Amino acid sequence: MSSPLARPYTPVGPNLSIFDPLFIGLDEFGQPVHLSLIYRNILLGGEPGAGKSSLLNNVVGHAALSDDTDLVLIDGKLVELGLWRECADVFVGPDLDHAIDTLERLQKVMDNRYEYLDSQRRQKIVRDDVMRRILLAIDELAYFSATVGTKIEQDHFSALNRDIAARGRAVGIVDASATQRPSSDIIPTSLRCLFAWRWAGRCVDDSSSDVVLGHGWTNRGYSAARIDPNNQGEGLLLAEDGIPVALKAAHMTNDDIIRVADYAASVRRTRAANATTPNLGAVA
């Protein structure tokens, strides 16, 4: 089986699919790096300013231009993903109750989809399935799991996110979570292991880098603490079956994002107006 990193071709939007490879940046030789999101989750970690939100915007941008994908965006800072609000089926700002309510509904969608697959004697959705794919993007994870609300609410949020990351992939739900607090309480091993893709931007120390990439990578010579703090967007990208590769993340300026988001929103409005089939996976 070829590596998901090796897929060479991405069509031009708006006919993108979340099944198509996502262009995510350049490797240390200046070569484009693509990755496949479907059936996988992506975790982004690193110190403030490392470039996580910028990279997450690439992920959301690809999904926004993907005709088969709904967006569920949860943004503790409101402004990191806020430019995609018009494209989103659900947009959650710094509101833990709303975030929990949204994840509970997503969990229900996930359960319904499993019942449907079971009734069809199938294990996972495929490209020509009627079920729409869903991107769940969360920035900043720690805001909801450790900062606001009570411990019970935070744990409930974390449990929901973990369940969706664990069971959502086969039913077309991709979880992309970012945090500037890569510590074991925010990203326990049990959560990290659910993310096939992990990108560590500049980290304050080796142990933070290992929290994102996995224990032992620093000892093998891969630590995001060695990244120049002035080199924003530079990081180490790890696929589940590989070794970390240096990646300079693709970067969209604010104006770029506004242009892409406005275009994607208008395509989505047109599609919704012309829709003839019900949306089986709607979370809105």
Ligand X SMILES: Nc1ncnc2c1ncn2[C@@H]1O[C@H](COP(=O)(O)OP(=O)(O)OP(=O)(O)O)[C@@H](O)[C@H]1O
Q: How far is CA 108 from CA 101, 254, 278, in A?
A: 11, 34, 17
Which is closer to ligand X, CB of 53 or CB of 107? 53
| Residue 14 CB, nearest approach to ligand X (Å) | 24
Smallest Cα–Cα separation from 75: which of 157, 158, 139, 148? 139
For residues 180, 185, 186, 189, the Cα torsion angle rounded to the nearest 10 degrees is: 110
- Is residue 11 involved in binding ligand X (CB under 6 A)? no
| Residue 202 CB, nearest approach to ligand X (Å) | 8
Residue 47 marked ligand-binding: yes
Site for ligand X in 244-263 (CB under 6 A): 249, 251
Residue 140 marked ligand-binding: no
Residues 199-218: x where in contact with ligand X by CB under 6 A, - otherwise, as a string: --x-----------------
Residue 52 marked ligand-binding: yes
Q: Which residues of 239-270 are buried (b: 16+ CB within 10 A; e: fewer)?
A: beeeebbbbbbbebeeeebeebbeebbebbee
Asked if 94 and 149 touch (Cβ cutoff 8 Å), the reply is no
Residues 28-57: x where in contact with ligand X by CB under 6 A, - otherwise, as a string: ------------------x-xxxxxxx---
Residues of the shown chain interacting with ligand X in the complex, contacts defined by CB under 6 A: 46, 48-54, 180, 201, 232-233, 249, 251
